[in-house]
Structure 1
Amino acid sequence: MKIGLRILLGYFLILGLTAWLVLNVVVEEIKPGVRATLEDTLIDTAQMLATLVAEDVANGNTSDSTLMKRLQNYAQRSIDVNISGVRKNSLDYRVYITNDKGIVVFDSDGRDVGKDYSRWNDVYRTLQGQYGARSTRADPDSDASSVMHVAAPIMDHGHIIGSLTVAKAISTINPFVQRSQRKILQRSAWMLLGSLLIGIAFSWWLNQALRKLQRYASSVEKGEKASLPALGNNEIGMLGRALESMRDRLEGKQYVEQLMHTLAHELKSPIASIQGSAELMREDMPAADRQRFLQNILEQNQRQKQLIDKLLALVKLEKQQSLEHAETIQVPTLLQQCAQDVQAGLQIKKLALEIDTSAIATNHGIMGDALLLRQAIGNLLDNAIDFAPAGSTIRMCALVHGQQLQISIQDQGPGIPDYAQDKIFDRFYSLPRPTAAKSTGLGLPFVREVALLHQGSASVNNLTGGGTCACLNLPL
């Protein structure tokens, strides 16, 4: 499982559990909270009514009192109100009064007058001078039928002469509880959805950054040209820059060690030749021999200079991770320039060079470094000239294959021996020339590095009828 998906799942799991716990507490606390509010309201109402009816109860006037009649008739009033989306069309208070013995002397519903309520908790505790309240089910099998009763003492000159209870069915507040729970759940769902989208966006960003870093590390592992992608100034960017710095140090150390080893090996031959010629020239010898040894010293010295110059150019190219001067290059023009560069070599061996660009448009262009491409194609042409038989023809053509431009150079030389097929792109490896001239063995490695910098490739293969075909493939 990818790390981005793991982080997203972990984030959503933690968020979901937290939301579930919070919602569970909030939703479960709504009903007790509303019931506590209802009880508080019933307390205030009971205390107020107990004060109002105290005089009538003290006088024993609980049936003919104007106030009592109004209390009995209030429930018959018709109402139609909308409370925050909940419609109310009935009055739900029930009021009953008992004497100091707990006998009901007044009931707004008119059904329990004369009954003994002294055992009910609201009446019993109130007559004892304590807070009296109870919640009783109208239907013993249904919790939804619970009715809350809150009583207040009726006082006369400091003595309790009765109790007044205000009752209200808890079911009347259920619509408000359900509405609150529904709104909380709906808004919580939107919050969870928003959090999930934020988590997905964060996970996508993190996954993209890690993918860039992973592709960079994979390219480095394969030895490909790769530049550190833009990762920002965050922790991932710092990690990427640390990896690039570590890569540069490790590759630099290994590269220098390998370079010094191969350079020392390649310089042994010309140095030994120069030393031998110089020692011989100390002795008396004919002028012709002295001139021959002097010429050998100059040639070997030139070979060293050429080797070092080409090696420095190759080193610079190998350390370069991307093109520094990319521009639009017209292919036909580029090939004509390369042909002019090798005219002297062609004339010496009386070689003909055919250029075929008929398969591409006259103004066909590619993005790249013109100087590097000119040097790379020049190296391929130099190899073809070295191995081509005198008086033969070298053919250079440009073809388009899909999204690839292929520049091929064909000669009629002896071809590449089987043992050298896998080594020709190795640094300092070269095949003996028909002219016995010594190559630096750095031309094809240079071509390969130029191709890689242009996101392309280079190859050299034998032709079926004899000869060699060197190809430089570049993306359009």
Structure 2
Amino acid sequence: MPLGLRIFLVYFLFVGLTGYFVLSTVMKEIRPGVRQSTEETLVDTANLLAEILHDDVKSGTLGQSRLPEVLKAYGKRKPAANIWGLPKNQVNHRIYVTDAKGIVLLDSAGLALGQDYSRWNDVYLTLRGEYGARSTRSDPDDPNSSVMHVGAPITDQGEIIGVVTVAKPNSSLQPYVDRTEHRLILWGAGLIALGLLFGALLSWWLSAALRRLTAYAQAVSEGQRAELPHYRGGEMEQLASAVEHMRTQLEGKAYVERYVHTLTHELKSPLAAIRGAAELLHGEMPDAQRERFVGNIENESARMQQLIERLLNLALVEQRQVLEEQVEVPLAALVEEVLQAQAARIEGAGLQIERGICADVSVFGERFLLRQAIGNLLDNALDFTPAGGVIRFSAERDGQRLRFSLFNQAEAIPDYALPRLSERFYSLPRPHSGRKSTGLGLNFVEEVVKLHGGELLIGNVEGGVEVRIILCS
């Protein structure tokens, strides 16, 4: 199972369970909380009525007072109120008054007048000087028919002479409870969904970051060029830096060992030639022969110097994973600069140079490396082009791609050599001297082209050889 999916599942389980327990706990507290608030209001109302009813209960004139009519009128009122979006069109309080023995003296509902309520807790406890309250179902089989009753003592000089009870059905509170629960479910589900979305994004980001780093490590292990992923601080940046440091250390060691072996192998031949010529020069020989051996030493020394310089340039490119700079490089001007550097050799061979690159054609890349690559291609073309031959530069755009080509008039390259031309140290004999080059020029060009994200193609065409470089720009 992918790491990102595992992280998301753990996060989902944690957020889901946490959200469920928190939501269920809050949901369980809504109904008791509403009832507690309502009970607190009933306490205030009952105590207010106890003070209002004191005189009539004490004098025994409760039945002859205006209070029965007032309560009857109160029961018929239609408030037409809108409480937080919920309509209220009737009053729900039931008010009854009992004497010191618990006999009902007044009932706003007209249901229990003259009955003995002394056994009900609201009256029984209040008459004993305690807090009297009860919740009783009006229908024993319906749990939603419960009614809260809160009693308050009617006192005269410290003596309880009666009880007033204010009752309110819990069903009148249910719309507010339902609305609150509904809103809580919506908000809770929304927050849980938002939390899960955040977790999914976090898991995706972490997985993507790890995938980029894994792809980089795999590309490096396969010898490909890859750009180190960039992260903005944190452990991922430290991990990327550690991977890059490890790559540098491991590649550096193997790279040095490989180049030492390569350099040792390639220097054996010129060193042997120099040593043999030097030993022969110690003896007597004609001046012409001496000049020939001295020339051999100079040629082999130059070959060694060229080999070392090209190896260093190649090492510089191979160790690079990305370009150090990317600037707009005018291609025609760059080609002209390379041609000027080889002007003496071109004129000496009487070569015809054809320039087919418009002045506005440019490529984005590292100018120094591009110049070195084109210089190597021209140098290689000069080695194989016969005197008076043609060398042609051209470039054209194909959408976002730039196709650069260098044609030189020459003999066709053998089929067996075509796939190996860019191999390190592989070289064909030069037609003028029969000697081979270092075999590093085209290998260097290929590395530069790859570093620019392009492709190098070499093939035979009518009348000669064409080298093509395809770059994205």
1:397-436 equivalences in 2 (<5 Å): 397-434=394-431, 435-436=433-434
Alpha-carbon shift at residue 432 of structure 1 (Å): 2.6
Q: Who is 1:309 aligned against?
A: 309
Q: CA deviation at 1:108?
A: 1.9
Amino acid at match of 2:375: G
Q: 2:5, 2:28 → 1: CA distance?
A: 33
Cα distance in 2 between the residues matched to 1:78 and 1:397: 95
Q: CA separation in 2, counterparts of 1:303 and 1:79?
A: 110
The runs of 5 or more residues in structure 1 that have no matched partner are: none
Q: Deviations over 1:137-164 (max 9, x none)?
A: 2233433322112234455666655543
1:466 to partner: Cα distance: 7.3
Structure 1 CA distance for aligned equivalents of residues 23 and 122 of structure 2: 34
Say which SS state the counterpart of residue 431 (structure 1) adopts. Answer: coil
Within 5 A, what are the aligned runs for 1:216-235?
216-235=216-235
- Aligned amino acid, residue 474 of structure 1: L
The answer for unaligned runs of 5 or more in structure 2 is none
**Which shifted more, 418-427 or 375-384?**
418-427
Tell me if structure 1 keeps the 8 A contact 2:352–2:388.
no
Deviation at 1:467, TM superposition (A): 4.5
Name the counterpart of 1:37: 37
Q: What aligned pairs does 1:354-373 form with structure 2 within 5 A after superposition?
A: 354-355=353-354, 357=356, 361-373=358-370
**For 1:334 and 1:159, how far apart are their aligned partners in 2?**
114
**SS of alignment partner, residue 173 of structure 2:** helix
Kindly tell me: are residues 64 and 217 of structure 1, through their superposed partners in 2, closer, same or farther at Cα, counting changes over 3 Å? same
Within 1, Cα distance between the matches of 2:181 and 2:67? 40
Q: State the Cα distance separating 1:268 from its structure 2 match.
A: 0.8
Query: Which position in structure 2 is the counterpart of 1:177?
Result: 177
Who is 2:435 aligned against?
A: 437
The 8 Å contact of residues 354 and 390 in structure 2, kept in 1 or not, is answered as no
The Cα of 1:243 is off from its aligned counterpart by 1.3
Give SS of 1:295's match. Answer: helix
| Deviation at residue 80 of structure 1 after TM alignment | 4.1
- Contact kept? 2:404, 2:469, Cα under 8 Å: yes
**Structure 2 Cα separation of the partners of residues 100 and 400 of structure 1:** 108
Amino acid of the structure 1 residue aligned with 2:170: I
Q: How does 1:96-175 map to 2 (within 5 A)?
A: 96-127=96-127, 130-155=130-155, 162-175=162-175
Instruction: State the alpha-carbon separation in 2 of the partners of residues 242 and 418 from structure 1.
Output: 46
1:206 positional shift: 4.5
Q: Residue 277 of structure 1 corresponds to which residue in structure 2?
A: 277
Mean Cα deviation higher: 309-318 or 223-232 = 223-232
Aligned CA distance change for structure 1 residues 78 and 311 (closer, same or farther; 3 Å) = closer
Shift of 1:219: 3.8
Q: Secondary structure at the match of 1:367?
A: strand
State TM-score, norm by structure 1. Answer: 0.85
Query: How many residue pairs end up in the alignment?
Result: 472
- Alpha-carbon distance, 1:170 to partner: 1.2
Q: Which amino acid aligns with 1:368?
A: G
TM-score by length of structure 2 reads 0.86
8 Å Cα contact 1:395-1:409 kept in structure 2:
yes
* Structure 2 SS opposite 1:35: helix
- The equivalent of 2:467 in structure 1 is 470
Other structure's SS at 1:263 match: helix
- Whole-Å separation in 2 of the counterparts to 1:373 and 1:84: 75
Q: CA RMSD in A?
A: 3.3
> Residues 14-413 of structure 1 correspond to what in structure 2 (within 5 A)?
14-50=14-50, 52-53=52-53, 56-57=56-57, 60-66=60-66, 70-71=70-71, 73-77=73-77, 79-127=79-127, 130-155=130-155, 162-188=162-188, 191-192=191-192, 195=195, 198-199=198-199, 202=202, 206=206, 209-210=209-210, 212-346=212-346, 349=349, 352-355=351-354, 357=356, 361-390=358-387, 392-413=389-410
Identity %: 48
Which 4+ runs in 1 deviate beyond 6 A?
none
Tell me by how many angstroms 1:254 deviates: 0.9
Q: What is the CA–CA distance in structure 2 between the aligned matches of 1:32 and 1:220, rounded to whole Å?
A: 65
In the superposition, relative to structure 1, how do residues 55 and 392 fare at CA in structure 2: closer, same or farther (>3 Å)? closer
Distance 1:385 1:172, change over 3 A: same
1:448 equivalenced with 2:446 (yes/no): yes
Is the 1:154–1:160 Cα contact (8 Å) retained in structure 2?
A: yes
SS of 1:398's equivalent in the other structure is strand
